Amino acid sequence: MEPSEIRWLFTPEQIAARVRELGASISADYAGKELVIVCVLKGSFVFAADLIRAIELPLGIDFLGLQSYGDGVESSGVVRITLDLARPIADCDVLIVEDIVDTGLTLSYLIEQLKARGPRSLKVCSLLHKPARLIRAVPIDYLGFTIEDVFVVGYGLDHAQQHRNLSGIAVIDDGTRG
């Protein structure tokens, strides 16, 4: 990405501060419970790693791979599970950790799939929410930041599998979005 194509939206320091706040809220809400974090791959792995270090509770973590974007900037609307959970979540308190809620279609599908597995409770923590693109309303119990209708990369989020390693979150202008 060329410098002229990037505009920083959130610095690493802003992200770290918000992750600490989310971790404190989650720690308070789940005190005395056995929390299982479900990290949605690939985009949320960086956020999930920082978040679990900010949660001051014993917890388990599992990973679930979903794909709805391919290499484009628009959701295809078709969700595909690319990696399933390694263990049952029945009777567990489950927190889905997602990178971004855009249309809500992917998260709605995931919530439906996980509810069918019988967790004691199921909540959502998303780093970002883009309400301008929402098609299906979904609950977001813990939210990092609300953003405008822009395509973002960094801190685990990608464009065609690139830019996940940026330490902040940036807007990418590749000419495909208005």
CATH code, 23: 3.40.50.2020
Q: What are phi and psi of 147, to 5 degrees?
A: -125, 165
On whether residue 65 sits in a domain, the answer given is yes
Domain span at residue 95 reads 13-148
Residue 163 lies inside a defined structural domain of this protein: no
99 is catalytic: no
> Which pLDDT does position 178 carry in this prediction?
36
- The residue ranking higher by pLDDT, 78 or 178, is 78
Q: Please identify which of the residues 102, 141, 149, 173 carries the catalytic annotation.
A: 102
Give the Å distances, CA to CA, from 81 to 13, 40, 75, 85, 149.
33, 10, 15, 10, 26
In-domain check, residue 177: no
CA-based torsion, 138, 166, 65, 123: positive or negative: negative
Residue 164 lies in a domain: no
Number of domains comprising the chain: 1
Average pLDDT in the chain: 89
Highest mean pLDDT of the ranges 1-5, 70-74, 133-137: 133-137
Q: Render pLDDT for 62-93 as a digit per residue (tens, 0 to 9).
A: 999 987 755 444 555 677 888 889 999 999 99
Which pair of structure tokens corresponds to residue 33?
């419970």
